[in-house]
Chains A and B, each alone.
Chain A
């Protein structure tokens, strides 16, 4: 009996591996590893180095070790504002994604109809791969001055003036939420699957209301999914490019388009590199901080 418990899953793997030389896995994964390291890791390191160089209009940049690019970022009102806009738009988007995602993922996991379940998953996964440009295009038609929403509003109350919906931060949040919701739903759905329905049934049988059951039973079990989904949505909206450009308009600045402009138009590569690393490290710091806070609240919740 004990042997059965000790060996089960890895036995086959070990037997296969034993016959191979120890170098085999390295030889197999080597080419891909070198490829990704050379084409992504090395460029990122070079970009980090570049962010400490000095900008020079004639020579593009001068090799140096200066913090000027980072100092400029914090001193310049404009870039601080860009960062602030990016942060709060991302935070609101993530929150909206969470609220909508919770409802849909819960519905999807608990529906008894297998057909509905299968097609709902496909309907949610399809837009995930459609590309942000095509999906944002739909929002332009809806929110434009001559668009669908204004048309419908005019049908309802004649004589009302057209609403300026496009090129507002509300429009950007709407577009981003719509684009990122599938990511949240898919993440929550994968965790939802592992939650035993009988736990909820037990809670309901014992007299708790549906809302209490959701809050006290489902939500705590769903926490890892909620955390993963929020981090994903937050990172993706911090780095959004197409949506802010297309429905934010030329006067709405977020980080990703600003980096692109610094490289392609302003040609200030050291500053662009500094902006890029500010974006990466800020995203990483916020992720780590929220992970720590998440662990702490989870522990407090467990004690209570």
Chain B
């Protein structure tokens, strides 16, 4: 409700040629249907991840052997939903059981935590380092810029998944290392985006003015230049989270990401791929989860790009 009111306010304000950046952005986003869809998916996903232990019906790590209502054979048992006519005496499993007779629904739900943690943390890490490098390179110029950007070029020259695999192989498989690897391989994207904004802004008159007033470099860079790089960085980061989720799933698929028994969508796919024809539910649900998550971030990212583009949507 607050949003609507403040939007109206901002529309009035616009007549007076002043507007709030964030409200403008929200307004543009609201008009973009795919962005709204993406936003809803991600909001839902975040809720699911936060309230995973409330939503789930079973312990995601517990095999169902010897529990009441479980009639063998248990591994790979098809979904049993009472509402859809499954025998009421059978224990209910919304997505069936996995290869180790664990409740697949609970595992998929908890898997959202793993994926979001990897997505958000790896991108935060990458964006911090990448932005810093881009700011330094862009503002300092000369040989410093040369060294930093050539290093970024070298990293970009490797296929990112391959580089991530190399990093994980050196540091040993595991969620933290996968997270670190994904973060490292995405640093160059952020460094380049930041640097190009810096280059554009640093010759502007207000920067020259600030400098002539005797402001220190760090102040110019962080207070005056950085805000101008934020827009493309936000878009890049939103799209980047989707990419990071996918890369984490890819690493886990290869056995290099989260280690069992941690529920991880990519690893669930990899385990079950041999049973795609005999027990499709094992592949279907984690697969859908990955698709939805990546789709959500991509839709939101695209929407943000459109909303933030000054050549579009401005009236």
A and B are interacting partners = no
